[in-house]
Each structure stands twice: as C-alpha cells, then as structure tokens.
C-alpha cells in the first residue's frame, strides 16, 4: 500500500476529504445521505453543484442546531468544462457563497490556456480568487490535468503562484482521467507550501487516497469518502 495508513486515525483522514456529489441525476435523497455521512464522519466539506447549496446548507444548519459538528459546503463553478465567461463564473461563485458555500472550486478555461492566452487565464483566476477572498471563502482552481502537457501544468502553477488561490486541484472527475500521484507531486513541487493541492477524480479506495497524500495532496475530493475511512478503520482493527 502506498503511504503508511498507521499514521492516520479515521478522524484525521476524514479531515482531508471533500465528500462529493456532483452527478446531474442526484436526488434529494442522495444529498440528504451525503450531508448525513459528512456530519457522521466529520468530513472537511460536502462538495455539490451550486444549485444544491441552499438545500445542503439547510440540512447542515439543522445538524448544527442539534449539536452536531457540521462540515463546510464547497460549491463548483464553471463546472465541469470551464467554458463560461469570467463574468458568469464570478456570478455563479458569488451566488453560491451568498447561499452558504464556504469554498469554491472553479474550472479554468482550457481553450484559452492552450491558445497560450495566459493573460486571460490569469485575469480569470484573479477575479475568482479576489471574489472568494472578499467574501471569506476559500478558492480552488481545477486544472483538469488529463488534458494538459507538463508544460501547461507548470504554466498554471506559475500563474497560481502569482495570483494566490488557496488550492490548485487536479481534476473535475468528469474528464478522460482523474488524479494521478505524478501530477500531484509535480504540482506540489512547484507551489510548495504557498498553495494547497487537492487531488480529485478516481479516488475510490484507501490505497489511492494514501498515494495522493504521500505525493503531496492536502485535500482529497471523492464520492467514496465513507468507503475510504471505513477501509482505514478495518485495517487498524486487523
């Protein structure tokens, strides 16, 4: 197994996890389950589409009123393609924050990146980061690494170091590939401790999650958070 599971408790591993439900066909029951699991396991956040923030905020506020420790809400913006204008992405993010989101994961415009229009990419990143900072929310920039060359990943990291988001993130989970340790390691090597790195996409078991953390991930985005933590509990008992 990549990484030593014995360095984690279930509680400490859970704090890495953004417990995720971003499917278009998600039902109210799915969202209720997501929030209930996030409260029970004490995950870092629940990650949902923007239109679901109000519903999830009500669920989590009810849990807090009952004395539970509720996770924050992470909302996506420009998701999953990133092919929205800067104006639309900032409006979407701002509305989500107003409705209760404490973190925003937005997708970069890969068309402009691949055209080497780095000015646009930096302007967009700055707009989202400044909005989040002004509203007291954390910002995460989704690269969608499966579509990028190493040179493009390096350029995005360079821009991120200039702009200063809270996190850079590998993937949406909707692309042709998800997180791999090599990309996490490259991103962490480039930004160091100045910016967090979130690994997401295809992380469905404990071994994969630990491999991402060993490579430098500070946060894990996954819809399999309960499976991962339960697997750790079982290994610690064996």
User: Which residues are catalytically annotated?
Assistant: 105, 169, 198
Joined tokens for residue 108: 């970069």
Is the C-alpha dihedral spanning 77, 83, 89, 95 positive or negative? Answer: negative
Q: Euclidean distance between the first and final Cα of the chain, in Å?
A: 15
CA 19 to chain centre: 9
Burial 46-74 (b: 16+ CB within 10 A, else e): bbbbbebbbbbbebbeebeeeeeebbbbb
Q: Name the H helices within the chain.
A: 10-14, 28-41, 53-65, 86-98, 110-114, 118-135, 150-163, 181-191, 206-215, 225-237
């Amino acid at each position: 197994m990549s990484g030593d599971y014995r360095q984690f408790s279930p509680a400490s591993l859970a704090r890495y996890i953004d417990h995720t439900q971003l499917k278009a066909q998600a039902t109210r029951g799915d969202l209720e389950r997501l929030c209930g699991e996030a409260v029970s396991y004490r995950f870092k956040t629940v990650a949902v589409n923007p239109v679901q923030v109000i519903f999830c905020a009500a669920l989590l506020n009810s849990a807090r009123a009952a004395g539970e420790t509720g996770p924050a809400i992470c909302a996506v913006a420009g998701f999953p393609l990133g092919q929205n204008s800067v104006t639309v992405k900032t409006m979407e993010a701002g509305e989500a924050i107003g409705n209760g989101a404490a973190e925003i994961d937005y997708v970069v415009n890969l068309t402009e990146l691949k055209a080497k229009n780095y000015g646009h990419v930096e302007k967009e990143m700055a707009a989202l980061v400044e909005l989040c900072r002004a509203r007291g929310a954390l910002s995460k920039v989704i690269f969608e690494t499966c579509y990028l060359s190493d040179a493009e990943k390096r350029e995005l990291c360079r821009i991120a170091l200039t702009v200063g988001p809270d996190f850079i993130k590998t993937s949406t989970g909707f692309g042709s590939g998800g997180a791999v340790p090599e990309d996490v390691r490259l991103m962490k090597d480039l930004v160091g401790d100045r910016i967090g790195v979130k690994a997401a996409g295809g992380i469905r078991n404990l071994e994969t999650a630990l491999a991402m953390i060993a490579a430098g991930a500070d946060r894990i985005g996954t819809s399999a958070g309960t499976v991962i933590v339960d697997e750790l509990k079982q290994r610690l008992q064996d």
